[in-house]
Structures are given as structure tokens and as C-alpha cells.
Structure 1
């Protein structure tokens, strides 16, 4: 098939998309991706897999996000399948062509000094602020997921022993140590805890029912703003800060894996990339072979 033949069937293909119920926005996106492809292909000769790869490389050199490249490649592949189904092309040369992987997204972490300064601001005597302070100390002090904080019950705590029992992903239970400040914050909260009849949740709302996950998120966001946080805070960021700070201080990735409840070490290894600049500075300032003569 020549590039001209490849392009001439696009109007028919786009009509089939419309007839199949695709939105006008989706059809327009397919059209743009196919037009762009035809502009990147050579003007004549038989189309080959190598030419499609070259087109994909040209787009990647334009600093397009890998997800955009994957979407475009999907549109090309589906149109090529259409041509094969219609008997217009003997086979699809890009059926197994893969788009480049998106860059690994590193979790965001708040620096230790900022986070400790925020948490050191003691709450007022208002019940909800005391409850929130206990939640936030627990998030950072024990690295719990939002869902894990939400699901905690009174019997999850062993305050005298300094442990909390958590049910994580895959319904797996793990024991996590409680920090001194988290224990103190929880002890301050418990006498003021409101509970409806039979409610076992550790953290409850004004009605005495289990505090919802969205409520926890919103309370953390509002608290951070009131405290003058330089950045937005989320439960996810609190957990990531716990992990990165712990790994930075200990260097024990296996222990951090257990504390986070990660089944695979690869999930924990992402934190080793977070503090590379910090580790590089430590190396430069301490290792005798790193110091350069001036």
C-alpha cells in the first residue's frame, strides 16, 4: 500500500467511527492523528513498519508526552486494522508496535523541616481540631494510606505498647509502630471522641459515625492552608513524606517496604530516587575521593 492509498480511505473510516457512536470530539482527534501521520510518511513507495517507526520517532523528538504518543499510535493501529478488515491491506505492519513508556512519576514529599513545623503547631481546644491533629500525626508518623486511616477501629490501637494494627491492600494485616507524638495526639483525642451507638471507628464525625475518606482529605487540605503550608497537602503526600524521610535516615529499604505494606520491593524502590540530590551532597561533602582540589 502506498501513502496515497493509505490516506484515501480515511473519510470512510471516520464515518464508521461516527456511526458506531463515537463522539464528534473523539472522531476529530482520530482525524488529526491520521492527518499528522500522513504528513510524516514518505510521499511515495510502499509503506513499511520502519516508516511508521520513523514517524513515531519524529513525534517523540517534538517533546510530546508519551501518553500522547500512545494515543496517536493507537489511532494509527486501529485505522490500519480497519484497512486489513476491508481487504485493502494484507496485514497491519504496526499491530505489535509499542509506544514509549511514560516517565516514572516520582511521589511528592514535603521536606522534613516544613512538615515538622506544621505538626508542632498544637491544635486549639476545639474537638475537631484535636481529632484532626491525631489523624495527621498518624499519617506522617506511621505512613498509613488514606483507606487505612479511614478503616481504623478502637481495637486497632495498642497505645501502651506503641503499635497500631492495620489492614492494607489485599486484606493483609501488618503491625506498625506508633511515634511518641502520634501516641500523645491520639490520647488527647480519645476522651473527646464522639460515637453513635455501636460505632467502633477510631475517627468519627460530629454525628459519631466513621469519618469519611473525602472528609479526611478536605480537613488535611484546609489545615495545611491555615497553617501557612507552602504547598498543598494530601494523604498521599503525607505517606510519601514518611517513606522518603525514613529511607533517607535509615537506608534500610527492606524495613521501609514492610512498614509501607508493599508486596513488591519495586514499589518501594521508587523512594530511593527521591533524595538523590541529598545523597549526592552527602557524598560530595564526606567521601575523601569525592572532594576536588581547588
Structure 2
């Protein structure tokens, strides 16, 4: 194995052991390092002149993709310096694209209701696949789980005596997620028709695995089409975003959302605060001590 590849493997092993990086995260870092190796050759010994060529080599990338690759390389070279492999850090020569993190797509209350109604209508038959889909949808929108968290839920995560799920999120961080009475009822229906023999709540057709994220994505888009919604606007993450946004609109505290979503940094949670400006103006006018004293804020200001 070339020296650069060996250092990359050590870097990835560090991410897994010390930072608890998930498998999907490690795969993304590996792809980014391999993309750099395709241009630079031995990335472990690349100098600043070599790194300056990446801007033109990756000129066709979206700003967000370029930023992600450069972030992976900065962390890689920082690791090499910390380990004493390099005395210098050449990452200052990496391109620095200006990116603005886009807000995820959002479904309205009415669209989510239609989505749930369609799944509910299909589950009346008590067919296992239909009841499973309804349970998946209720947990995505009702508890705000990530797709990976949802499909990999062990059967033991569903307690018998409390309305909570025990979820293992990014980096192995565990949290308690409340389950609504509605979702709990659907889970009971699913457990009644679910085949035994698997330790996962949503087993795959195989002997020991669980439903995949790709299959979950496919099931949701197919359901969206049957519900009269644009399938391209629907994904597990869109439903997670709808969960957070609709809770915030209902008055939930941002710190509570941070806990429910499993975010280590509240700055990440703020991405989900897609509340229209009119509601913010109404909130200030209604709740601020001076809101009714000297007039209200102009909505068009």
C-alpha cells in the first residue's frame, strides 16, 4: 500500500475510534480523499503548489461539494501534523469556496396530513407492508428520526412501560425520543403483524439485516405519488425537517429541538428554524414588553 494511502487509512481509523464517526461518514471521507489522490497522487506528501491546482481541477464541482472535499483534506493534514508525520500544514493553499447551507425542502401541514392519510388508508387492510410503511412514516414525522436511526432501530428500542424510543445517533450518541400516542398505536399494530426472528424493529427480507435507507427512500416516494404529492419533494430528511419546523411553529424551544434531533451543536438546529417572517413579526408584537406600548413592528420594514 502506498504511503499516502496508509496515512489515509490511519486518519479514517482515528475518526472512527476517537470521534465515533459513523460508517456513512467514513465512506464520505474516503471518497473525498480518493478524489484528491486522483489529482495529486500521494496526498500525504503534497505541497502547497500541488494543493493550489485543486481549484482548477475541481472547478466543475458545486460549491458545497468543493467545501466538503477541502474540509476533509484540512482535517487530514491536521492529523498528519498532530502525528508528527509532517512538520508543515499545506492546507492553507486549498480553495475556499463561499457556501451557504441551503434550507431543506419543507412540506406544509396539509401535505403531511395528506401523506399520513394515504398511508393510513392503505394500512386499514392490516397488510404487513402497509402497516410497516405507516409506522415508518409516523416515526419520521412524529419523532424526527434520521433515516439511518430509524431503519436500524433494534426491537429492544421500543420499551413496554414508557412512551420513548432509545435511539443511537451520530457518533454513537444515545438519546431518548418521545413517541406520540398515535405512533405508539401504529407500532403496536406493526409488532402484531411483524415476522419474528430478527433483532431489528424493521427487518429486511434477509435473515438478519434491517430495512435499508435506499428502500425507505423508495417507499416514501412511491407513497407520495399515490397521495398526489410530488415524489421529488419527499425524502426521510424532508419529513425530519417538517417535524422540527412544525414543532417550532407550535412554540417549541430551540434547545428542546436540539435534544430531540440529536444535534451536538445548536447551530445545526438553527438550520431547521425555517419560520416565515410574518410569524416572527407577530411573535415580537405579541410577546415583547414594548410590543403594545409604542405601536407594532411594520411587517414591510
**Equivalent residue number for residue 57 of structure 1:** none
RMSD: 3.7
- Cα offset for 1:138? 0.5
Secondary structure (helix, strand or coil) at the match of 1:239 reads helix
Equivalent in the alignment of 1:26 = none
Return the alpha-carbon distance in structure 2 between the equivalents of residues 183 and 104 of structure 1: 35
Alignment correspondent of 1:212: 212
Give the unaligned 5+ runs of structure 2.
1-37, 42-52, 68-91
Runs of at least 4 residues off by over 3 Å:
64-70, 95-100, 205-209, 280-288
1:250 aligned residue: 251
- Using the alignment, how far apart are the partners of 1:228 and 1:146 within structure 2? 23
Deviation of the 1:144 alpha carbon: 0.5
Instruction: Please state how far the C-alpha of 1:68 moved relative to its aligned partner.
Output: 9.7
| Offset at residue 184 of structure 1 (A) | 1.4
Deviations 1:102-155 (A, max 9, x none): 122112221122102221331241220111110110111000011111111221
For structure 1, the residue ranges without an aligned partner over 5 or more in a row are 1-16, 21-29, 35-63, 71-94
- Helix, strand or coil: the match of 1:250? coil
TM-score (norm 1): 0.63
Q: How far apart in 1 are the matches of 2:239 and 2:180?
A: 15
Distance 2:64 2:171 in 1: 29
TM-score by length of 2: 0.61
User: What is the Cα deviation at residue 195 of structure 1?
Assistant: 2.7
- Quick check: 1:152–1:201 contact (8 Å CA) kept in 2? yes
Aligned to 1:119: 116
What is the correspondence of 1:1-294 to structure 2 with a 5 Å cutoff?
A: 66=63, 99-121=96-118, 122=120, 123-124=122-123, 125=125, 126-196=127-197, 199-206=198-205, 209=208, 210-232=210-232, 233-272=234-273, 274-280=274-280, 282-283=282-283, 288-290=295-297
**Paired residues, what number?**
217
Structure 1 match to 2:17: none
Residues of 1 paired with 2:66 and 2:259: CA distance?
Answer: 37
CA distance in 1, matches of 2:66, 2:191: 53
